[in-house]
Amino acid sequence: MQIHFREINPFDLWIWLEFITVPSPREKQYVEELFNSWFYLGKLGAFNAENLQVQETGLELSYMSYDCQGYDNSLLALMHNMSEFEYHGHWGRCWFDMGTSDAVALDILINAIQQLSSEYIAIKELYIGGMNADWPIEETHGHNSLIYDN
C-alpha cells in the first residue's frame, strides 16, 4: 500500500482509500469500523501528545509511576466531526474535523490501515488530505452526513 500526503487542513480533512477491487459489504464493514473506532478515540481525547506518559517512560514499564493529573494539565486534543464513509467504485473516502487532536492520530490510523490492508482488504493507496480528481467534492457537499456536529 502506498501512502500519500496532500494539502492538510486538520479542520477540513479528507482521507481517501483506493482499493484493488470494489470492496464487498464485509470489507466495507471492516473499513468503517476502523474509521469509526479511530474517530471515537479522537472524540474522547485519546490523541493527546502532551500526555504520552507510558510511551515516554520507555521499555521498563513495571511499577511505573503514572501522574493521574497529566491529562488535566495538558491542552485538550479532541476530534470534532466525521462524515459517513462513502464509496465510489474502487474508491472510499471520509471527511474529518480533527479539531485539536495531535498528529499522532494520523500515525495510529496509518498503522491500522496498513494492518487492515495486509490481513483483510487489499488497499492500493491511502491519500491523506487534498482532493481527488477521480471523485470530486461538490462545493455544496456541506458534510450533510455528519456523524457528530458539535
**Among 18, 36, 28, 13, which Cα is nearest to 143's?**
13
Residue 143 has pLDDT above 60, yes or no: no
% of residues, the chain, pLDDT over 70? 79
Tens-digit pLDDT profile for residues 114-142: 999 999 999 999 999 999 887 888 744 44
pLDDT, position 148: 56
Are β-strands 123-128 and 13-19 bridged in parallel, bridged antiparallel, or unpaired?
antiparallel
DSSP 136: P
Tens-digit pLDDT profile for residues 11-36: 999 999 999 999 999 999 999 999 99
Separation in Å, CA 35 to CA 42, 71, 94: 10, 24, 8
Which cell is 85 given? 464513509
Reported as a pLDDT band with limits 50, 70 and 90, residue 3 is: very high
| Range in 44-58, 63-77, 85-99, 124-138 with the lowest mean pLDDT | 63-77
